Amino acid sequence: MSKIIPFKAVRPTPDKVALVTCRNYDDYSPAELASWLDFNPYSFLHVINPAYVHSQKITLDKRFKGVAHKYQDFKNDGIFIEEEKAVFYLYQIQTKTQSFRGIVAGTSIEEYKNNIIKKHEDTLQYRVELFKDYLHQTGFNTEPVLITYPDRVEINDWILQKKKSQPIYHFSTTNKEIHTLWQVDNEHEIFWLEKQFEQIPELYIADGHHRSASAELLYDEDKHLGNPNLNYFMSFLIAESDVKIYEFNRIIRDLNGHSKDDFLEKISDYFIIKPKQQELWKPQDKFEFGMYLDGNFYALFYKINDNNNFNNKNKSSILSNLDAQILYDKILHPILGIEDLRNDERIEYIPGKQSILTLKELIDEGEFEVGFMLFPSDISEIKLLADNNLIMPPKSTYIEPKFRSGLLIYEL
């Protein structure tokens, strides 16, 4: 049983929604951020990055208080409005290549604690505590956790019907996306959606593990205050078939003292190596890897044997047969000497949605020596790991859709 609840969101007025909402703060370069803040006084970037010129000179405590004050200024200026009653939302993001749609609702901290809402990524405690402090001092969150549920014909049919009704928002953004939001305020529809999700035994976090962990920590610390909003966190619930999963490709600064020939010889113990010269080759299936080294591409095919049979479903084999784990276990750690995938400065990551030419150019410029391309995981692998309480290696997946900041705000 999965419990979802409607909530009283704070959201931009319809005439300003295209100006207010923005991409995730981390997506902006410093120059782009400064440009947007100078150009657009309504941007939510002003809220999440107040007094941006001096942002490196103030403490986190002052910065969080600045966020809270700026948010209140936006409300006082009539840029935001608050729902009169608790509602659900249907949200659609249409890109040049794909359309995503899902339900925005509150999901239960208790179910998160009881592993009904399942995880597949590890979290860094300092980041969890930092975002918990942010939530505590600002009193709101505008970045929902992306959660997947098994496709249900009933919900899919309801979404198709709901899309025929009048949305409260329909706007385009400068990155050529179209965003549409429908309000679900009919009590019968709300009750029906709640009952539909009660029939779903488990939900899976696709993106937002730190946000959900921070919401849990805030609940543990502040539940004595009796604030019912702390019992839930805002989530964007999307059917499994609608999620788009990309890989994270890896680029490494050096060969750890190995010559090119020595390196190729060492990896040949575990991989069949096929030179591709200048062909921009990417993996076509699981257990295949692309490599770019010394101006040439290579196809690497993992040597399957009885010890790494993916059909074996015991815990050790589930993780060891994950492509990102194979690359770490056979090349990155033993040959290239990379132990900490999160913090080693010799490795960086490129989302798979970016062109393979990006990886090639970075290596050709000389700062990096070798790059690896992976085949993206699918939702079944993620669920299998989560069901067995296993954790993916860092930077294994880049998952879309990405929610617009400032579109819907969950107040605490």
pLDDT at position 342 is 87
pLDDT at position 26 is 82
- CA pair distance 350, 373, nearest whole angstrom: 9
3-state secondary structure (DSSP) of residue 126:
helix
- Which contacts (CB < 8 Å, 24+ apart) does range 352-356 have? 352/246, 352/247, 352/248, 352/249, 352/376, 352/398, 353/246, 353/398, 353/400, 356/249, 356/280, 356/282, 356/290
The confidence band for 181, taking pLDDT boundaries of 50, 70 and 90, is very high
The answer to whether residues 410 and 20 touch, using CB atoms and an 8 Å cutoff, is: no
The confidence band for 306, taking pLDDT boundaries of 50, 70 and 90, is low
- CA pair distance 12, 19, nearest whole angstrom: 9
Residue type, 224: H
pLDDT at 328 over 70: yes
- CA pair distance 321, 329, nearest whole angstrom: 10
Phi-psi label, residue 204: left if phi above 0, alpha if psi -120 to 50, beta otherwise? beta
Question: pLDDT tens across 201-233, in order?
Answer: 999 999 999 999 999 999 999 999 899 999 999
Quick one: average pLDDT of 98-121?
A: 96
Question: pLDDT tens across 346-393, in order?
Answer: 999 999 999 999 999 999 999 999 999 999 999 999 999 999 999 998
Max CA pair span of the chain: 68
Q: How many CB atoms lie within 10 A of CB 312?
A: 13
Q: CA-CA distances (angstroms) from residue 205 to 7, 335, 367? A: 20, 33, 35
The answer to whether residues 10 and 75 touch, using CB atoms and an 8 Å cutoff, is: yes
pLDDT at 244 over 60: yes
Nearest to 77 by CA among 20, 140, 141, 37: 20
pLDDT at 252 over 90: yes
The answer to whether residues 238 and 148 touch, using CB atoms and an 8 Å cutoff, is: yes
Quick one: average pLDDT of 155-182?
A: 97
- CA pair distance 359, 357, nearest whole angstrom: 5
CATH numbers and ranges of domains, the chain: 4-242 (no CATH), 246-397 (3.30.1760.10)
pLDDT at position 122 is 87
- Greater confidence, 54 or 204? 204
Residue 363's φ and ψ, nearest 5 degrees, are: -75, -40
The answer to whether residues 217 and 132 touch, using CB atoms and an 8 Å cutoff, is: yes
Question: pLDDT tens across 79-95, in order?
Answer: 999 999 999 999 999 99
- CA pair distance 269, 271, nearest whole angstrom: 6
- CA pair distance 360, 375, nearest whole angstrom: 17
In 151-202, DSSP assigns E strands to: 169-172, 178-184
